[in-house]
Amino acid sequence: MTETATIDVPSLAYEIAAWLRRHLEESGAERFVLGLSGGVDSATVCGLCSRAAGPERVLGAIMPSHSNPTDAEHAQLVAATFGVETVKIDLTPVTEAFLAAMPKTEGSDGESNTHAGEWRPEGRAKLAVANVRPRLRMTTLYYLANLRNGIVVGTGNKSEALIGYYTKYGDGGVDLLPILDLYKHEVRALARELGVPEPIITKAPSAGLWQGQTDEAEIGLTYDQLDDALAAIERGETSDLDAEVRDRILGMQRASEHKRQPVPSFRRRELSVPVPD
């Protein structure tokens, strides 16, 4: 069972805000830039950034792409709660134009949802298309950061990072990761400390990859189950874990290890194979 009672949440909020403030000062940037998805992670990071530098030095980008309209409403609620500036960029036509330019290849079969104006891919294309959205959001955030002399703040948490539940060079492409060492239940506790509206804390987490998508359905576990299992694995106490849960998580960790490692780079000193005659 996840526990937050032992966490000194006010001190944690103070330490992360101080860490953010120090990095902003060292960077020479004027502001933090982050995506506001309407979820608890981005809301918590928004609150931390506002506390670190003041709301006038935080820019929140709302970037729908065939998204649930409620997400944008919740993002605006977060911005209003912390008094930060927002800019809304509808990435739907950008996404559609990108996909229209791509060749139809094996694995790209799907069907058109004319009511929603969305192409729903199947097979291997489903993940490829899903990853386009966070990568376009990353590009948008860096464009805004360049324009406004900002640094991009990520919203990834420990639960998702440890199983690779994020898009490489998408939501993983950022300058700072203030909640990367916090499990999801710890993020929720921090959100309440910061004053994030309760409906955002308790809503079903979703990366907004497609209509109706939820994180827990994709992962196959609730976040509480995931947090408990990850903490047990981290402690080396796996004997009481359900074998199916343990194997599922360890499999996700192995498959996503490349996301947590630096990009392999060739070094000439590693050359040990003789050139053939």
Residue range 211-232: average pLDDT? Answer: 85
Cβ-Cβ contacts under 8 Å for 6 (sequence gap 6 or more): none
Phi, then psi, of 31 in degrees rounded to 5: -155, 165
pLDDT bracket for residue 109 (50, 70, 90): low
**Using CA of residue 242, residue 168, residue 161, residue 73, what is the dihedral sign?**
negative
pLDDT at position 200 over 60? yes
Which has more confidence, 273 or 8? 8
Burial status of residue 28 (CB atoms within 10 A of its CB: 0-12, 13-18, 19 or more): exposed
pLDDT of residue 60: 98
How many CB atoms sit inside 10 A of residue 131's CB?
Answer: 17
**Whole-prediction pTM:** 0.88
pLDDT at position 110 over 80? no
Cβ-Cβ contacts under 8 Å for 194 (sequence gap 6 or more): 13, 44, 47, 48, 51
Distance CA 160, CA 226 (A): 9
pLDDT of residue 132: 94
Hey, what domains does the chain have and what are their CATH numbers? 9-104+132-215 (3.40.50.620)
Residue range 179-205: average pLDDT? Answer: 95
pLDDT bracket for residue 212 (50, 70, 90): low
Name the E strands within 89-240.
110-113, 118-121, 150-152
Distance CA 27, CA 53 (A): 13
Which region among 22-26, 65-69, 179-183, 203-207 has the lowest average model confidence (pLDDT)? 203-207
136 in Cβ contact with 126 (< 8 Å): no
How many CB atoms sit inside 10 A of residue 247's CB?
Answer: 11
Which has more confidence, 146 or 127? 146
Distance CA 137, CA 250 (A): 29
Residue range 135-153: average pLDDT? Answer: 98
Residue range 189-207: average pLDDT? Answer: 91
Residue range 114-121: average pLDDT? Answer: 45
Cβ-Cβ contacts under 8 Å for 41 (sequence gap 6 or more): 155, 156, 157, 179, 187, 205
What is the percent of the chain with per-residue pLDDT over 70, rounded to a whole number?
A: 86
pLDDT of residue 116: 40
Q: What is the pLDDT of residues 52-103, one digit of tens each?
A: 999 999 999 999 998 889 999 999 999 999 999 999 999 999 999 999 998 8
Longest Cα separation, the chain: 70
pLDDT of residue 112: 44
Phi, then psi, of 152 in degrees rounded to 5: -85, 125
Q: What is the pLDDT of residues 161-177, one digit of tens each?
A: 999 999 999 999 999 99
pLDDT at position 147 over 60? yes
pLDDT at position 191 over 90? yes
Residue range 225-252: average pLDDT? Answer: 92
